[in-house]
Chain A
């Protein structure tokens, strides 16, 4: 068979030739694991430039590592959900506001509602999931851009949070009796294993494992990749595209609610304004992790590494007392680099975008 059809023979970029394969594969591997490589580089930099005190590298001290992961746990949890949405080619801007709403809801139910810990967790997670699914339903049913629907969702979530909280933040105090939350909830703000590892960190890592399994080994994960790879092809293959879309927004809603609970637990506090801008941090982590904003490609491991990398970068800069401005510049540069690498590989694959 002639190894080419018309279109490909005519455009040098779309050459199907086997000759170039090895080079492309190396680059593709770099992109696939770009955030792990980036994380390794940041960690190496962290070790090289770490301040030393009493003979130990501060950067690698167990409590510092735990701190790094704690600092990114909320945005990291959100990024886990965001990865699913972005692989389907969508976007969810409501996550940060939903975190605020969930933290307020958690605090209100525990403090003012007198609810137990488990009913509260169930209610908040269910509310977040439903909120996300509602966005998915609206976007699918009326064929609206997810950008618009979730932008509206952002406003609505913030508005609801302000209504529920009466425009005030709600402190969570623990104890028995009216106006006090059950002591069990305080565990989210504590540290385990010799008072070193924050529970928030553990929650993030546990959800990360679940999300990885969900994306990589289940039918649902495949549906997500298929819908993002080509929606029409998926539909023609009998994949319930609408349901998949609704489910991924439900998933970001769930993750945002989980992050909101962690927020309320870590800080004993529910604030309607918290989580502002988290959607952008989460998207940055996902993109740095090698997930394509055009959908159809991405890894959960990449997202996790991307999140931790951002945290490690902030940490090493601060340990060396370098200004926050430089941190923003570095983050911006890394995002651009990640996007450029993806674009190069995308073009080489000859599939256009």
Chain B
């Protein structure tokens, strides 16, 4: 990732130092130094989601540049029990640093706490456990990303106002709620915009298609649809095309996945108006790992928020080429 992005990341970082009295002089990891080999265990919530696959690829590609690191990735397959078991196995194996995207927060909290209290540094990626038993959290800000998508709609896509629809993710999940609210706050910047429909499509493309087709029936004049992830945006495009309205309806996705079937390609081909990258945080997480393990850092920022980037027709082709692994 570019140095400018690194700088932005650093600027946005909340400068909370892990101050623990006199312990501040102790390195975060018991074993550290630039000349050792280190095993990093990454417990990924679910390989089956395209975004998470993208994170895996990003991490695997970047870790190659750090000869001291060996990365082991385990798939929890969307099951808390499996993920707990994997973290336990990482402990048995004696990994030097745990990287984890917990499938759900509460169930993983006890085991992550145990790892952290045993002295192994823990970096949580994208999703957090409860409490503060971690070395650091790296992730995007869903509310902010969706807010930017809302602002983009208000100012650039529909400066003169119009009807807008929202496809929400799985209703019980935190990102779904954050992205819905963020977007709605963003479009409020333009009072002439009316959100005429908002419904859950559970992150799924087929459901996105069904739901948006129904929305178009009820509100034939919808001009922009905001989909809380790229998959639902793909579904929305099929629905619009089915109704012969792919020119009228401007589609905004979220996640901005690279590759031939990803959201960036859809923007590049002109099917969508834009998508907002939900960052992997891979570069930032590995950067923290380097500081902890190689530089024997005594303190690192506990929260690293990675900013988003808007993908539009202007930059889509370049980005897709750059993000190829």
Report which of A189, A266, A318 forms a contact with B89, defined as CB distance below 8 A.
Answer: A318
Report which of A67, A168, A189, A268 forms a contact with B172, defined as CB distance below 8 A.
Answer: A168
Report which of B88, B106, B171 forms a contact with A268, defined as CB distance below 8 A.
Answer: B106
Q: Is the CB of A67 within 8 A of B104?
A: no
Cα(A324)–Cα(B47), bound, Å: 10
Whether A64 sits at the interface, judged by CB under 8 Å, is yes
Whether B72 sits at the interface, judged by CB under 8 Å, is yes
Cα(A155)–Cα(B84), bound, Å: 27
Minimum CB distance partner of A267 in chain B: B107
Q: Is the CB of B75 within 8 A of A324?
A: yes
Q: Is the CB of B107 within 8 A of A61?
A: no
Minimum CB distance partner of A74 in chain B: B81
Q: How many A-B residue pairs have CB under 8 A?
A: 72
Q: Is the CB of B92 within 8 A of A169?
A: no
CB distance from A200 to the nearest CB of B (A): 10
Q: Is the CB of A71 within 8 A of B106?
A: no
Cα(A189)–Cα(B112), bound, Å: 13
Whether A315 sits at the interface, judged by CB under 8 Å, is yes
Whether A269 sits at the interface, judged by CB under 8 Å, is yes
Minimum CB distance partner of A54 in chain B: B94
| Residues 33-72 of A at the B interface (beta carbon under 8 Å) | 51, 53, 58, 61, 63-64, 67, 70-71
Given the known interface contacts A172-B106, A267-B107, A269-B107, the answer about A61 and B92 at a Cβ–Cβ threshold of 8 Å is yes
Report which of B72, B105, B107, B130 forms a contact with A266, defined as CB distance below 8 A.
Answer: B107
Q: Which residues of B contact A255 (CB under 8 A)?
A: none
Q: Is the CB of B72 within 8 A of A321?
A: yes
Whether B206 sits at the interface, judged by CB under 8 Å, is no
Q: Which residues of B contact A230 (CB under 8 A)?
A: none
Q: Which residues of A contact B172 (CB under 8 A)?
A: 167-169
Minimum CB distance partner of B74 in chain A: A318
Q: Which residues of B contact A314 (CB under 8 A)?
A: 85
Q: Is the CB of A315 within 8 A of B110?
A: no
| Residues 245-300 of B at the A interface (beta carbon under 8 Å) | none
Given A53-B94, A267-B84, A324-B47, 16 additional A-B pairs, CB 8 A: A58-B92, A61-B92, A63-B92, A67-B89, A70-B85, A70-B88, A71-B88, A168-B172, A169-B172, A172-B106, A274-B80, A314-B85, A315-B89, A319-B92, A319-B93, A321-B72
Q: Could you write out 13 A-B pairs with CB less than 8 Å apart?
A: A64-B89, A70-B85, A70-B88, A71-B82, A267-B106, A267-B108, A268-B106, A271-B80, A271-B107, A274-B80, A318-B74, A319-B89, A324-B47
